[in-house]
Structure 1
Amino acid sequence: MTSTVAPPPTETDRTAEPGPQGDRRFGLPVATCLVMGNIIGGGIFLLPASVAPFGTISLVAFGVLTLGAIALALVFGRLAHRHPQTGGPYVYARAAFGDFAGFLAAWSYWITTWVSNAALAVAAVGYLTVLVPGIGEHKWSMCLAALAVQWLPALANLAGTRYVGAVQLVSTVLKFAPLLLVAVGGLFFFDPANLGPFQATDQSAVGAVSASAAILLFSYLGVESAAVSAGEVRDPARNVGRATILGTAGAATVYLLGTLAVFGLVAHEKLISSEAPFTDAVNAMFGGTWGGTLVACAAVISMAGALNGWTLLSAQTPYAAAKDGLFPRVFETRKRGVPVVGVIVTVALASALTVYNYTAGSQRVFEVLVLVTTFTATVPYLLSTAAQIYFLASGRSDRVRPGRLVRDAALACLAFGFSMWLVAGSGYAAVYQGVLFLFAGVLVYAVMAAMKQRAAAPPAAR
């Protein structure tokens, strides 16, 4: 095998991928919506009830997670300025540490996207049954609904990045209307008596924060969305960083205000056992029972928007790796700005996992796979933050001012620590299963690296 460290970036490395400017359909607003839409999927509608048993100390965990996510977003912004190409973490890891690290980033991120897509589709069906009760009468009708939820965003992706951006913009606006209704309007109905105890468990304060954070960890996955799709963003060196920071900050604001509002609208004892906390919050604000339908509509729209964005991301990483010979060349196939083979393959894998989930009749298997995504998503985060530390420590800092250098280094170290916390919070079982997924990828890398080496060798040496 040749040297594992890539050469220093050339001027070409610092520019976006070549191609017609008309192919770049994402401006700053749509790129920001892509980040926010991917971070905020369906979890926001369940999170307040999930962390309520720990008490209002869970808001502290939210704050800590928010700081870590913003630090990670700032690091991705700086990395995208340095390498504004499609692929995000894969591009950064490969530029710093060579092909193998880049492949691990691409492989683990790809696993994360299509398993998460299957999870989002299954969760969306739960809300669809509120709107159309007949769907929930048989497992096959639920399975078909989950498949439809996955393939409709895939068709939007296959139509081109222009339609992806349009769907993302519309879904983000629509789903934020009811969320902001509770997050902002709910503060006017806020009753401190509903908050309950600050610390509702016998754990220490640090233990309670860590335990509630473990539940909230998955909620911030997606901060890298604009960086992964940098090749489709206009002026990526400028807009990717801004979109990442704005999208993460916007999602964090909705998370914190929404959770705080629900805590103050629903009595603590009721919130602990609530299956639809936002429904209970809307009912507390206005009375009646129409909140369930409103929240179900918002949840379906939210998940459809998240699936739209994640479907694009699931194809972008293997596309970037295929261009470098680390994924099969078929993933390079691209039409109307979209890696069509990547979209089709990943949605097919997610669909197969969805069918398995319904036919096996065991939710536990599926839940374990979903937990694995928390681990597999942090592998690219760790490699990306380590790449930024490498760039800065090796002197490849683009001649920035000393003050900027210190700030970038501090942010990179903070983001690295945050990523390690994500790994720890995913649990032993998830780490164990995730490592098996990574080792399966090593075999794929061995085959692709051998094929790449044979293709590069002169005929006499073959």
Structure 2
Amino acid sequence: MDGAHAPAYPVEPSIAGGVSQIASPDSNPSARKLGLIAATALVMGNMIGSGVFLLPASLAPFGWNAVGGWIITISGALVLAWVLARLTRALPEAVGAVGFVEKAFGAVPGFLISWVYLVSIWTAVVTIAVAAISYLSSMIPELGAHEFLPALAAVGLLWLLTLLNLRGIKEAGRFQVVTVALKVVPLIVVLALAAGALASGTGEVRPFEPQAISLTALNGAAALTLWALLGFECASIAAAQVRDPSVNVPRATMWGTGLTGVLYLTVCSAIALMLPEAIAASSPAPFASFVERYWSAGPAALIAAFAVISCVGALNGWVLMQGEMTRSMAARGMLPAWLAGTDAKGTPIRGLLVSSVIASLFALANASRSLKGLFEFLLLLSTSASLWLYLACALTAVRLNVARGWAVVGAVYSVWMLWGAGVGASGLSLVLMAAGLPIYLWSRRHSAKQAVQP
């Protein structure tokens, strides 16, 4: 989830928040459908965002448990990705991940999963903004010097991107194109520096201590790493826009998830295990700290700038998604109808404004936390909220007898990750899911009254 990018033309999100139908300007839709390479790039582009840039600091105290956590997370994500791909093949008419849930369990469970997914988008927006401010603080130390300033700065950045999206999807899409290619630069630099340092003997990896490996630490590390891999469901959700989806969607989902996972595993592990733990754990910009140690301060500042650009690009995409998701749910009668309104350019102004207000409240409610603490709390909350979607899809596959063996494994993994996220985050996400039910009931009742009026 943490790095989705917006297409340069209007999108119609499914009730899961993904792109279900893309309103291409081309009159020949088959000519504009995504092939395998483009679909794989969609998966990887939607997954690579802000999470990887702060995770090394959060993972440093876990040591080699973090490597195990990455392996568990990548394996679990691949299982869930395969289940979603099989569901897409079996239920092409369901229109998105939550459409699967609605098909198997009914309208109310479909709404609850849709609502909690929307909550995950709101918290993801704040988490990405915090990551951007954290890297900015490495260049502007004053940003992290005051207790409430990081949260206020994150809210300010969120509203700058909201204003950009209020100008229209086309402008937001153009901005996104500029940022997409730049996000992989820090990853490539770190990999090159790590390989060079190990080959020349100027760098060393923290010693492996088997006695330090524990189930609790593995679970905690895996819960943190899952944030960076959220978004692997995008190819399944956009299946209608993929050429030969029964073949290309599963391949793109598996290849995109696997390649991104391996890239994250090597980059984050290099930083967390090759930097001294005290430096890695306390750094507001671990990528920059790594580059400064193994190269110099000048390139480190440039890497920090690239990381900010990547975070801002991811934030732009998810700000667009929260507005479109809110509008789509309102259009389906799941939220108050007035949220479905758009301007002459099709921009969901009301959905954007309301969503950004709610996301800002998430940030301000936790403003007393440190940058790292704020990032980790919101990360776990967003991850646990997304996990309810993955769990529901796995249970849907079990009920509909679609890849049942893998679905059982995916369901067990989702439950384990909810436990790993902690009672606080997972419990709060469950409370927030239930909190949407009165809104749904009121919206349905109000829609029913309007339908019977002459």
State the TM-score bracket (shorter-chain normalisation). 0.7 to 0.9
Cα distance in 2 for partners of 1:328, 1:235 equals 36
Residues 271-300 of structure 1: CA deviation (Å, up to 9, x unaligned): 4555543233223432x2224312321221
Please report the TM-score for the alignment, with normalisation by the length of structure 2.
Answer: 0.79
Q: Among residues 197, 202, 221, which one is paired with 2:207 in the alignment?
A: 197
Aligned partner (choices 324, 327, 335) of residue 327 of structure 1: 335
Distance (whole Å) between structure 2 residues aligned to residue 47 and residue 379 of structure 1 = 22
Q: Secondary structure at the match of 2:429?
A: helix
Assess if the C-alpha contact under 8 Å between 1:55 and 1:200 holds in 2: no
List per-residue Cα deviations over 1:210-268 (Å, max 9, x = no partner).
2322332323222234555667x465946665554444233212211202332564345
- Residue 116 of structure 2 is aligned with which of 105, 108, 111? 108
State the shift of 1:113 in Å: 0.7
Question: Of residues 135, 145, 149 in structure 1, which corresponds to 2:157?
Answer: 149
Gaps of 5+ in 2: 1-18
Q: Do the aligned partners of residues 387 and 345 (structure 1) sit closer, same or farther apart at CA in structure 2, a change above 3 Å counting?
A: same
Deviates more, 1:300-309 or 1:264-273: 264-273
Counterpart in the other structure of 1:65: 73
* Structure 1 residues 192 and 91: CA distance shift in structure 2, 3 A: farther
Q: CA deviation at 1:421?
A: 1.8
Q: 2:99 aligns with which of 74, 91, 106?
A: 91
Check 1:355–1:426 CA distance in 2 against 1; reply closer, same or farther (3 A cut).
Answer: closer
> Quick one: distance in 2 between partners of 1:158 and 1:26?
28
Query: Which residue, 282, 286, 289 being the options, matches 1:277?
Result: 286
Q: Is the 8 A contact 2:113 2:433 kept in 1?
A: no
Question: Which of residues 287, 297, 301 is equivalent to 1:293?
Answer: 301
Secondary structure of 2:302's counterpart equals helix
Q: Secondary structure at the match of 1:46?
A: helix
The equivalent residue for 2:59 is: 51
How far off its partner does 1:155 sit?
4.4
1:259 partnered with 2:263: no
The runs of 5 or more residues in structure 1 that have no matched partner are 1-14, 394-404
Residue of structure 2 equivalent to 1:212: 221
SS of corresponding position for 2:436: helix
- Aligned letter for 1:418? Y
Instruction: Please report the TM-score for the alignment, with normalisation by the length of structure 1.
Output: 0.77
Q: 1:290 to 1:159 in 2, by over 3 A?
A: same
1:387 pairs with 2:387 = no
Q: How does 1:354-365 map to 2 (within 5 A)?
A: 354-358=363-367, 361-362=368-369
Is 1:170 the counterpart of 2:178? The answer is yes
Partner of 2:408: 413
Shift of residue 327 of structure 1? 1.9
1:323-378 residue CA offsets vs partner (Å, 9 max, x unmatched): 332222234345667644333321232234445555xx455788655533232111
Letter in 1 for 2:407: A
AA of the residue aligned to 1:386: L
Aligned twin of 1:130: 138
Are the counterparts in 1 of residues 70 and 222 from structure 2 also a CA contact under 8 Å? yes
Report percent identity of matched pairs.
31
C-alpha change, 1:85 and 1:165, in structure 2 (3 Å) is farther
* Cα distance in 1, alignment partners of residues 93 and 300 from structure 2: 43
Residue 176 of structure 1 deviates from its aligned partner by 0.4
Asked whether the 8 Å contact 1:107–1:438 carries over to 2, the reply is yes
